[in-house]
Amino acid sequence: MSASPKSSARFGAQAALCIGALGVVFGDIGTSPLYALRECLANLPAVERNAGILGALSLVVWALIFQVSFKYLAFIMRADNRGEGGIFALFALSHTDRGPGSRTGGPFTLLILFGAALLYGDGVITPAVSVLGAVEGLKTFDPALARYVPAISCAVLAALFWVQHKGTQTIGKMFGPVMVVWFATIAALGIWHIAQYPIVLSALNPMHGLRLIVQNPGSAVALLGSVTLVITGAEALYADMGHFGRKAISRAWYLGAFPGLVLCYFGQGAYALTHNEVVANPFFALAPAGVPQLALIALSTLAAIVASQALISGVFSLTRSAIQLGYFPRLEVRHTNADQAGQIYLPLVNRALAITTIAVVLLFESSEKLAAAYGVAVTATMAVTTVAFYRVTRMRWKWPRWKSVSLCGLFLAVDLAFFASNLHKFMEGGWLPLAIAVVVLAIMHTWKLGRSEIYQRVYGNNVTESELTAIARSKHVTRVGGAAVFMVGSSTGTPIALLHHVKSNRSLHKTVVLLSVITDEVPTVPESDQLVLTEIGEGLWRAVGRYGYMQSPDAGVLMAQMQERGVPIHPDRATYFFNREMIITGGNARMWEWQKSLYSFLSRNARPAKDYFQIPPSQIIEIGLPLQL
């Protein structure tokens, strides 16, 4: 019997999700074979060659099984915030927000912010090491091309970052098919070499890896640090869960990425076992010399571009979430696809990533040197994820302590073992992602701290709604025609701009809306639930727009919804009043002086609130508000 149209359509949709997940989710981890086993073989302990290679392969495959299959797919990805994953999803699930005026939330919040900041370092290093690793294949094809590798890599990266402003819709359609071809190709090459030396499959026995570590505990540290490279990108499985779902990502892993990676690594191992001479890169040696090898280099470059694009898009999404949650200054966010809200472009972030990534390529010049900078940030992020997951199991899932400690303790022991094995790389480049993370963390912590101080000063001694209605009905205040919208940072507050306006002009519009935009700790809020409207009286209304951290606010849409619900307001003719904060340092705010200066700088350069809320400039009046920190 033939399948029904519904079942066929369902199968097609599931297949499309799996192919899409291969492109977006597994781009980073999928390009690790370009350099990972090369680094493992370069850091083998001083043991018999065959035992060392089999031990390294055993550690590689079991690292993939434990970290990806067991930790992330079986457990971490069960902690979803309305279908969304990532570090901020764990934060929301295990954290109670204390409102817009709350401070940074203590050590756990700082730890989560540091984990998020580390992903910015990953967003810089992944494009650099992936593209360098692919272009370096030219050295295998023709050693004379070695001196052109950094320049070619920079050109590829410059083109990749330049095309970001056009959106990922067009190039995104290529992600899945490219990675399907990629995983199929590296699997086929692996099978070809495994068939020539099938004894390499004995490395599936974990005892090979354990024996290597136990017998060589000191020299095995460097090897473990290299094994870390095979699991870079595991965090992307969780971060991109909202785009594809846990089932599609699991299927893509078990049916495509995992077998492709294992076969490729074992194929490289088989090549190394059958060739005693030193090979510059066993990955490119898998293909026959000449045209096949050149074709593999071209495919590797395409795969590296896919991996880089996935990380760049991830940094964009992470930044928007941080902005919405109040941990990052407002930046310009452009939507590049009307049908996909998740496809966004942040010009300033893109420029910063482009400059930093190209500078990193010029500084390190080879994927071998850059690989040293990779493991520290990846393993630190995994450890932070484990700590946050522990809090979710205790606070949200109500697991007994023994169960949470047993599982998360196992995860953390492995994470910290990988982290410790990478510490020796610190001076060789491991400082780089940590330095990037510290800078980003300082910005996020300072911005949140500064906003909480501003909130206390602006809304600490607030005018009540009864006092406000009394002002509105006063015979000393003239009510003029039209509608005014006053932006207020609190869902219960009265903006200083309104009080200044009444005091200076002795007038008030007949319709006044106090509009607050609040970000809930959920990915999205349905449009039907976004507006909470309350009539105060005397022509005054309070409106609260609620958005998720994956959404961008739009005041015009909220105004249209108010009009539909009976507020006498015309969105195109309303006047919006904003406070224009002018920050002065030297006050008694609970901040270091450098934080006050940094906050002042960030405040001056943040995207104006009127632009962030998508309000036409002709409908805006700003009122200066000097504030001393």
Q: Do 551 and 524 form a contact (C-beta atoms < 8 A)?
A: yes
The secondary structure of residue 624, as a DSSP letter, is E
Taking 50 as the threshold, does the pLDDT of residue 1 lie above it? no
Report which of 261, 209, 223 is spatially closest to residue 30, judged by C-alpha positions.
261
Tell me, letter by letter, the H, E, C secondary structure of 52-95.
HHHHHHHHHHHHHHHHHHHHHHCCHHHCCECCECCHHHHHHHCC
Residue 563 pLDDT > 70? yes
Q: Whole-angstrom Cα distance, residue 49 to residue 535? A: 79
Q: Which residue has the higher pLDDT, 237 or 202?
A: 202
User: What share of the chain has pLDDT > 90, as a percent?
Assistant: 44
Confidence of residue 460 (pLDDT cuts 50, 70, 90): low
pLDDT value at residue 102: 52
pLDDT for 259 equals 96
Query: What letter does residue 516 receive in the DSSP assignment?
Result: E
Complete DSSP assignment for 95-149: -----TT----SHHHHHHHHHHHHHHHHHHHHHHHHHHHHHTHHHHH-GGGGGGH
pLDDT at 194 over 80: yes
**Positive or negative CA dihedral for 187, 367, 289, 201?**
negative
pLDDT of 376 over the 90 cut: no
Q: Are residues 493 and 398 in the same domain?
A: no
Query: In sequence order, what are the residues at sequence separation of 6 or more whose Cβ sits closer than 8 angstroms to the Cβ of residue 602?
Result: 329, 443, 446, 447, 450
Q: What is the mean pLDDT of residues 472-482?
A: 90
2 is a domain residue: no
Which of 382, 415, 448 is the endpoint of a domain? Answer: 448
Share of the chain above pLDDT 70, in %: 94
Indicate the DSSP class of residue 319: H
Same domain, 536 and 417: no
Query: How confident is the model at residue 242, as a pLDDT?
Result: 76
- Parallel/antiparallel/unpaired status of strands 531-537 and 334-335: unpaired
Confidence label for 6 from pLDDT (cuts 50, 70 and 90): low
* pLDDT on residue 465: 85
CB 246 within 8 A of CB 14: no
Domain annotation covers residue 596: yes
Least Cα distance to 304 among 163, 141, 134, 123 occurs for 134
Instruction: Decide if 3 is inside a domain.
Output: no
Domain ends where: 448, 483, 500?
A: 448
Whether the pLDDT of residue 243 is over 60: the answer is yes
pLDDT in tens, 409-420: 999 999 999 999
Distance CA 309, CA 485 (A): 40
132 and 158 fall within a common domain:
yes
Q: Of 242, 260, 206, give the one whose Cα is nearest residue 32.
A: 260
Query: Is residue 154 domain-shared with residue 292, that is, in the same domain?
Result: yes
The span from the CA of 328 to the CA of 88, in Å, is 13
Q: DSSP states of 219-245 as a string?
A: THHHHHHHHGGGGTTHHHHHHTHHHH-
pTM (2 d.p.): 0.86
> Coil, strand, or helix at residue 541?
strand
Backbone angles phi, psi at 584, to 5 degrees: -120, 130
Same domain, 197 and 319: yes
Distance, CA of 371 to CA of 156 (rounded, Å):
19
Average pLDDT over residues 83-106: 69
467 lies in which domain range? 461-628
- Looking at the fold, whether 443 and 582 belong to one and the same domain comes out as no
* Same domain? 361 vs 237: yes
Clarify whether residues 442 and 484 are in a common domain. Answer: no
Identify whether residues 441 and 477 lie together within a single domain. Answer: no
Rounded to an integer, what distance in angstroms lies between the CA atom of residue 192 and that of residue 169? Answer: 36
Q: What is the pLDDT of residues 509-518, one digit of tens each?
A: 999 999 998 8
Number of domains forming the structure of the chain? 2
Given this model, what pLDDT does residue 96 score? Answer: 52
Any domain includes 208: yes
The residue with greater pLDDT, 483 or 24, is 483
- Give the range with max mean pLDDT: 208-217, 377-386, 403-412: 403-412
Task: Report how far residue 206's alpha carbon sits from residue 218's, in angstroms, rounded to the nearest whole number.
Answer: 19
The two counts, helices (H) then strands (E), for the chain are 26, 8
Q: In this structure, is residue 455 part of a structural domain?
A: no
What integer pLDDT is reported at residue 174 of this predicted model?
77
- Count the neighbouring beta carbons within 10 Å of the beta carbon of residue 490: 18
The domain that holds 85 is classified in CATH as: 1.20.1740.10
Inter-residue contact 377 to 234 (CB < 8 Å): no
pLDDT of residue 170: 59
- Strand ranges across the sheet with 478-487: 531-537, 540-547, 507-519, 478-487, 575-584, 620-628
Q: What is the mean pLDDT of the chain?
A: 87
Give the span between the Cα atoms of 478 and 348, in whole angstroms.
45
pLDDT at res. 337: 64
Cα 177 from Cα 180, distance rounded (Å) = 5
Residue that finishes a domain, picked among 417, 448, 479 = 448
Cα dist from 49 to 239, 269, 326, 438, 616, whole Å: 39, 11, 54, 41, 69
Domain match, 116 and 234 both: yes
Provide, for the chain, the percentages of residues in helix, strand and coil under a 3-state DSSP scheme, each rounded to the nearest 5: 65, 10, 25
Compute φ and ψ for 196, nearest 5 degrees. -80, -20
Greatest alpha-carbon span in the chain: 96
For residue 258, give the nearest of 25, 64, 418 by alpha carbon: 64
Residue at 553 is within a domain: yes
State the pLDDT confidence band at 104, using cuts at 50, 70 and 90. Answer: low
Q: DSSP H helical segments within 283-346, as ranges?
A: 291-324
Output the pLDDT for position 455. Answer: 80
Based on its alpha-carbon atoms, the radius of gyration of the chain, rounded to whole angstroms, reads 27
The DSSP letter of residue 253 is I
Report the C-alpha gap between 21 and 175 in whole angstroms: 9
User: How big is the CA angle at 333 (ends 327 and 165), to the nearest 5 degrees?
Assistant: 135
Range in 237-241, 386-390, 515-519 the model is least confident about? 237-241
State residue 562's pLDDT score: 94
Q: Is the pLDDT of residue 97 over 80?
A: no
What's the pLDDT score for residue 275? 85
Strand, helix or coil for residue 423:
helix
Please write the tens of the pLDDT for every residue from 341-359: 567 889 999 999 999 999 9
Q: For residue 349, is it within any domain?
A: yes
Which residue in the block uniquely carries the two structure tokens 């401070």? Answer: 103
Which of the two residues, 168 and 282, has the higher pLDDT score? 282
Q: Per the structure block, which two tokens stand in for 260?
A: 């492709």
Looking at the structure, tell me whether residues 504 and 607 fall in a common domain. yes
**Separation CA 496–CA 508 (nearest Å):** 14
Are 444 and 465 contained in the same domain? Answer: no
Q: Is residue 462 within 8 Å of residue 494, measured between CB atoms?
A: yes
DSSP bridge pairs for 519: 547
Please check the confidence at residue 116 and state whether its pLDDT lies above 60: yes
Strand partners, 516: 544
The neighbour count for residue 196, using CB atoms within 10 Å, is 13
Under DSSP, the state recorded for 336 is: S
Decide if 454 is inside a domain: no
